[in-house]
Amino acid sequence: MLKLTEDALHLQCRAANKNQAIEIAAKALEQSGYVKPGFINGMLAREKSVSTYIGAGIAFPHCAKENLDQVIKTGYQVFQFPNGVSWGAGKVVFVVVAVAATENEHIPLLADIANLLGDEVKTTLLANAKTKQEFIEQFEKA
């Protein structure tokens, strides 16, 4: 079960587009010690090949396989974009879960996140949360 901490949560984020949102996410992963500088390039490469939009206003950016050497240790950061970010093809993202994972460690993490955030009502509540505690409470509700 994924346990979200206040340190891994960023509220009231703003980005003009998905590349800027991914850049914000990559910087946070780097500052948290999960990835090396330059991880952003792997995230953008992954996004270019296959969208990381998973539905219900949620995106799950991570790096391309070719860039796994940029990962120091597995971890994640969660970002709230209350005004939404265009993810292309008419999709708008309100919650970004950025992941740094070695090999296939992101697969169980993605499954946990998909289970936690599987509906648009929940995403809307998360997008409108005013405090980290409120966001975490909504995030962890089954």
CA distance 47 to 53: 9
Q: Is residue 117 part of a domain?
A: yes
- In 56-135, DSSP assigns E strands to 58-59, 75-86, 92-100
Whichever domain contains 93, its CATH number is: 3.40.930.10
Question: Three-state DSSP class for 39?
Answer: helix
Beta bridge mates, 80:
95
Say if 1 falls within a structural domain.
no
Number of domains in the chain: 1
The string of pLDDT tens digits covering residues 95-135 is: 999 999 887 776 777 777 776 666 788 889 999 999 999 99
Convert the pLDDT of each residue in 73-90 to its tens digit.
Answer: 989 999 999 999 999 999
State the catalytic residues. 62
Tell me what the pLDDT averaged over the chain comes to. Answer: 90
The token pair that represents 79 in the structure block = 């970002």
Residue-range definition of the domain harbouring residue 123: 7-140
Alpha-carbon gap, residue 84 to 87, rounded angstroms: 9
The pLDDT of residue 65 is 85
